[in-house]
Amino acid sequence: MFLRHTFFERFQTYKNRIALIHKDQKYTYGDLNEKISELLLSLKIPDQSAVSLVGDYSFETIATFLALCIKKCIITPINLKPPTHLIEHLWAQFLIEKNQVLPIKKNLTCPQNHPLIKQLIQKNASGLIILSSASTGKPKSILHNLDLMLDFYAQKTFNPTNVAGVFLFDHIAGIDVLLSQFSTSGILCVPEFRTPQSVGEIIQKYRVEILPSSPTFLRLLLLAQITDTFDLTSLKLIIYGSEMMPPQLLKDLKNTLQWVKFKQSFGTSETNAIKTKNAKTASGFIRLDPAHTQYKIINNELWLKSKTQTLGYLETYEDTFEEGWFKTGDLVETISEDGEEFIKIIGRTKEIINVGGQKVLPQEVENTIGELKGIKDCLAYGEANPITGQSVSLKVVLDEKILDPKDKIGLKKLIREFCKNRLENYKIPTKIIVTQNLNVSTRFKKMRR
């Protein structure tokens, strides 16, 4: 049996403090400690096994995750059980779901034979595999040294707060929220459902102080008008990340939640969360903590090297890394403030729309049209065009009290007139589709197609 990481020391020190609230049930750090010890005896899995753990922020799932950490396993958290034909493609020998341990019969090579996983086993380190969101159709398996991540969180000081667990358990942001809360002896408050109403309810009921979320989910909170239904005055801080924050949305949020401080976060599945500082004079600009992360900008694209970054992709995508540098795919611009450089994410390389050789960032189009009164939300994307290669198309969600969805000709004219002095002509949408809502992924990001 391996020694417990120092990360777990506070579980005993603050054993009487509440650690988790889930489905109105409260669990202390002592409860977690006892459950972890019980699982270390009962889990019929060899140390250093590769395990897929199916579940969410339940007491059982969290305790199992932490017990597997101590057993130095290589853990792949999965929110929902994958179809049977995909299970054997997981980098795992066992699948755990609802306290059941299922061996995985594999036609593929044993996970322990992968060179990167071998490195972890030789170091007696636990591992974390994050599956990418598979926007291109094929998920990537991103391997982290989980012990190094625990080293990072173990340095945090005692700072108990009530935080809402909105991000998914199998998302790097969800793991960050979980480990960050437990390292500071705070309370993780889990909504029964990831809906505006359910989140509003736990904020009111358990006096949640910090809400980590994505701009897309924050927009859903506004559209649901939860401030009219629930008391959110306990909120002190909203941390937003995982996608760009539209300026108009941030303005609307600040007008609605005037007592709340807003902080932009930054991180990727490959680097984990990175400590940031917001610029004082320019919205959307952040400084990455130089003690934790190095960065460089090549052709306006951000490259990162951090202490907690991935060991690599198990399927090997070598072109993403160069001498330890991670090519993020994020396009940035910079400013200088008090002698320090701040960066702003302005788009993604893979989302660029190419109109006759001219590059268009969807976010620039969306941010502009989002300022038009009567536009609740919008999504810009590229469509094939026989003359220019691509053209800009737009999906819009309307406030029907202000704009008539049936007047499509009038709407197109209104948008073109509004954009005329704000965007170059090739950036103005040529096709506009009115929709009741935009498609959102399980990770609360806009789905661009």
Q: What CATH number should be reported for the domain holding residue 419? A: 3.30.300.30
How far from 340 is each of 280, 287, 325, CA to CA, in Å? 12, 8, 22
Residue-level pLDDT at 140: 85
How far from 188 is each of 17, 65, 345, CA to CA, in Å? 12, 15, 29
The mean pLDDT of the chain is 90
Residue 440 covered by a domain: no
* Whether residue 39 has pLDDT greater than 60: yes
Residue 300 covered by a domain: no
* Whether residue 123 has pLDDT greater than 70: yes
368-385 per-position pLDDT tens digit: 999 999 999 999 999 999
398-416 per-position pLDDT tens digit: 999 999 999 999 999 999 9
Residue 218 covered by a domain: no
How far from 257 is each of 3, 49, 232, 233, 280, CA to CA, in Å? 45, 47, 8, 9, 20
Model confidence, pTM: 0.86
Residue 188 covered by a domain: no
Residue 399 covered by a domain: yes
Residue 25 covered by a domain: yes
Q: Which residue has the higher pLDDT, 14 or 81?
A: 14
User: Of 134, 151, 168, which residue constitutes the final position of a domain?
Assistant: 151
Q: How many helices (H) and strands (E) are present in the chain, helices listed first?
A: 12, 28
User: Of 151, 183, 215, which residue constitutes the final position of a domain?
Assistant: 151
User: Which long-range contacts (C-beta less than 8 Å, at least 24 apart) are formed by 290-294?
Assistant: 292/152
Provide mean pLDDT across the span 336-359: 92
User: Of 135, 151, 167, which residue constitutes the final position of a domain?
Assistant: 151
- Which range, 23-32, 124-133, 273-282, has the best average confidence (pLDDT)? 23-32
Q: How far apart are CA 11 and CA 17, in angstroms?
A: 9
Structure confidence at residue 102 as a pLDDT band (50, 70, 90):
confident
Residue 198 covered by a domain: no
Q: What CATH number should be reported for the domain holding residue 45? A: 3.40.50.12780
Residue-level pLDDT at 79: 87
156-213 per-position pLDDT tens digit: 988 899 999 999 999 999 999 999 999 999 999 999 999 999 999 999 999 999 999 9
Is-contact 221 256, C-beta < 8 A?
no
Residue 10 covered by a domain: yes
Structure confidence at residue 136 as a pLDDT band (50, 70, 90):
very low
Structure confidence at residue 99 as a pLDDT band (50, 70, 90):
confident
Residue-level pLDDT at 318: 59
Is-contact 441 211, C-beta < 8 A?
no
Instruction: Count the domains in the chain.
Output: 2
Provide mean pLDDT across the span 112-139: 82
* Whether residue 3 has pLDDT greater than 80: no
- DSSP string for 85-114: HHHTTSS-SEEEETTEEEE---SS--GGGS
The burial class, CB within 10 Å (0-12 / 13-18 / 19+), for 351 is middle
Looking at this protein, which amino acid is placed at residue 215? P
User: Domain range holding 69?
Assistant: 6-151
Residue-level pLDDT at 132: 82
Is-contact 305 324, C-beta < 8 A?
yes
